[in-house]
Chain A
């Protein structure tokens, strides 16, 4: 091993191939790289980490590193990269913990929202905008109920879960709530930009096959006021 090409290939095996056994101090590098990533994943995904055994946690993360090594230079995005691999591939823990990718993504979203940029899309006066520091997750498992004491897949009802996370503009605290498909559609519509109230509510109704009658429009107006009180949406002045 002497050329740069050979040395790069060797470093890749040392750090990402669990089937390769590094010699001497190369093993130190393997441990440093792996433990550095484990620390980040553990701190951002404490619920997932708390459920898995040490052996399971290391095995699944070794698999992620071998098959989909991290690409982002921003280390706090590592859990997102791991979650996307686990969500989209059959992995070594798929049978025992089929919700693992969704749970890790949900845990990551809290950090993503905490660090989200603050520039808001300011629209014409009177239109509604969404707080830019937000995330909307859509899951097939009730990840917000998964815990160390409740994680058996048989005890978890599968379905369609919409979880909305946002950073309060004043307290800067990250909050979350489960929303129904209609509210999720409202958020998705606002994600594409500010909207006038009537047009917004009509577009949302049509997207989910509802008739935008006066009762619906009145309820929609109340909903927007309630969301504004929570710091989720704001009316452009």
Chain B
């Protein structure tokens, strides 16, 4: 589907009037060559971590440039570390800004977590405590990120296996308070939501009912692994029906500017990745609202 055929979805808040980019796939080193060869029509957009391309050239960069000509790019960072006590890494944010600006992105996103402490990088996403102190800490940092990038920013709910510290509130309240007080967008990862609901025994419906749906700018759909006594978020397995069901529920309630099938590990052949993209689109169509409606492909 050509970008030009899409309608524009906009949120009520001035910060969230973002162009609808449709359904896409996370661009990874493992799938970029196949995507360049096929440029599949099932995909409306691609999601890219800018860190992977800072100061690069060569084959992978050329593939990215070719794909950026063919598809709109959604930029999704992994290193902002909004939870860290150390001041924001301005050099990183300036690099992000310089890298993404030529593509005129409608927004940027990263995770509600620690990705580093005291400047030491985990190269992973570690959970924050669900406390008032944490909210008061991350809210001004998110506002600062939006100012530096001069772009709307969406924060993503992460999967977790522990609650560091004693939670003062449920996860939905923590996430909602952060996005509302920071006046930012929400990147809702429906797999992370499912994983956490099983690991911590909460009700997905209650979580969604309490979320400010109008702030959802971006959705991730992904897979996880069943361990002996908990779910491990691998983003490396097939997406299961309960996760698809959450996507359907969310799509039935609001417009979704971008829905990304996100596979970080264990990438299957491209046709299998595209089958999940088609599945996401079918769910949006069936929902009869949301992104599918905004894209003109609704039921």
User: With A and B bound together, what is the CA distance between A7 and B84 in angstroms?
Assistant: 10
- Given A115-B61, A172-B58; A2-B92 close (CB under 8 Å): no
Which of the segments A22-30, A148-156, A200-208, A216-224 contacts the partner chain?
A22-30
A-B contact pairs, 17 of them (CB 8 A): A1-B165, A7-B164, A8-B114, A24-B162, A25-B230, A28-B232, A29-B124, A29-B126, A29-B162, A70-B121, A70-B123, A75-B51, A116-B56, A117-B55, A117-B56, A133-B57, A172-B58
A7–B232 Cα gap in the complex (Å)?
A: 22
Q: Are B165 and A7 in contact (CB under 8 A)?
A: yes
Tell me if B85 is interfacial: C-beta within 8 Å of chain A.
yes
In this assembly, does B122 line the interface, its C-beta being within 8 Å of a C-beta of chain A? Answer: yes
Binds A, one of B127-135, B173-181, B213-221, B291-299: B127-135
Residues of B within 8 A of A (CB): 51-52, 54-61, 78-79, 83-85, 89, 92, 114, 116-124, 126, 128-129, 131, 133-134, 137, 161-162, 164-166, 230, 232
* Closest Cβ–Cβ distance, residue A167 to chain B (whole Å): 6
In Å, the complex CA distance between A12 and B85 comes to: 13
User: Is A89 engaged at the interface, CB distance under 8 Å to the other chain?
Assistant: no
Asked if A54 lies at the interface with its beta carbon under 8 angstroms from chain B, I say: no
Residues of A within 8 A of B55 (CB): 117
Q: Please report the C-alpha to C-alpha distance between residue A8 and residue B126 in the assembled complex, in whole angstroms.
A: 10
Query: With A and B bound together, what is the CA distance between A80 and B118 in angstroms?
Result: 20
Rounded to whole angstroms, the CA-CA distance of A133 and B162 in the bound complex is 44
**A-side contacts of B85, CB under 8 Å:** 4-5, 8
Is A28 a contact of B120 with CB atoms below 8 Å? no
| Whole-angstrom distance between the Cβ of B130 and the nearest chain A Cβ | 11
| Contact yes or no, B118 A8, CB < 8 A | yes
Q: Nearest B residue to A70 by beta-carbon distance?
A: B121
Give the segment of A31-39, A45-53, A226-234 that binds chain B: A31-39
Top 7 nearest A-B pairs (CB, nearest first) are A69-B120, A118-B57, A73-B79, A25-B161, A117-B57, A8-B117, A25-B162
Interface size on A, residues (CB 8 A): 42
A61 and B89 alpha carbons, distance in the complex (Å): 25
Known: A25-B230, A115-B56. A69 touches B121 (CB 8 A): yes
Decide: B124 and A33 in contact? CB cutoff 8 A. yes
Closest B residue to A6 by beta carbon equals B165
Q: Are A11 and B56 in contact (CB under 8 A)?
A: no
Question: Which of B60, B85, B120 has most A Cβ within 10 Å?
Answer: B120
> For residue A75, which residue of chain B has the nearest CB?
B123
* Cross-chain contact of A36 among B56, B59, B123, B230 (Cβ < 8 A): B123
B114 CB contacts on chain A under 8 angstroms: 8, 11
Closest residue of B by beta carbon distance from A113: B58
The reply to whether B230 and A16 contact each other, CB–CB distance below 8 Å, is: no
Q: Is the CB of B123 within 8 A of A8?
A: no
List the A side residues contacting B60 at CB < 8 Å.
114-115
Interface pair B58/A133, CB less than 8 Å apart: yes
* Shortest beta-carbon distance from A121 to chain B in Å: 14
Q: Are A2 and B123 in contact (CB under 8 A)?
A: no
B122: chain A residues within 8 A (beta carbon): 11, 15, 33
Name which residue of chain B comes closest to A28, CB basis.
Answer: B161
Nearest chain A CB to B193's CB is how many angstroms away? 18
* B120 close to A32 (CB less than 8 A): no
Query: Which chain B residue shows the least CB distance to A14?
Result: B126
A11-B57 contact in complex given A25-B161, A25-B162, A73-B89, C-beta closer than 8 Å: no
Besides A2-B131, A73-B78, 15 more A-B contacts (Cβ < 8 Å) are: A4-B129, A4-B133, A12-B120, A24-B162, A25-B161, A25-B162, A28-B232, A33-B122, A33-B123, A36-B123, A70-B120, A73-B79, A75-B123, A115-B56, A116-B58
Q: Chain B nearest CB: distance from A168 CB in Å?
A: 10
Q: Decide if A199 is an interface residue (CB 8 Å cutoff).
A: no
Residues 78-127 of A contacting B (Cβ, < 8 Å): 78, 114-119
CA distance A118 to B59 in the complex (A): 10
Which residues of chain B are within 8 angstroms of A167 by Cβ–Cβ distance? 58
Contacts of A32 in B (CB 8 A): 124
* B124 partner, pick from A36, A114, A119, beta carbons under 8 A: A36
Q: Are B58 and A115 neighbours in the complex by a CB distance under 8 Å?
A: yes
- Given A2-B165, A73-B79: A114 and B58 interface contact (C-beta under 8 Å): yes
User: What is the bound-complex CA distance between A172 and B63, given in angstroms?
Assistant: 12
Report if A72 contacts B (CB, 8 A): yes
Closest chain B residue to A132, Cβ basis:
B57
Residue of B51, B61, B92, B121 most packed against chain A (CB within 10 A): B121
Q: Is the CB of A73 within 8 A of B121?
A: yes
Most buried by A among B57, B116, B131, B161: B57
Could you say which residues of chain B place their CB within 8 Å of the CB of A36? 123-124
* Docked CA distance A15–B56 (Å): 29
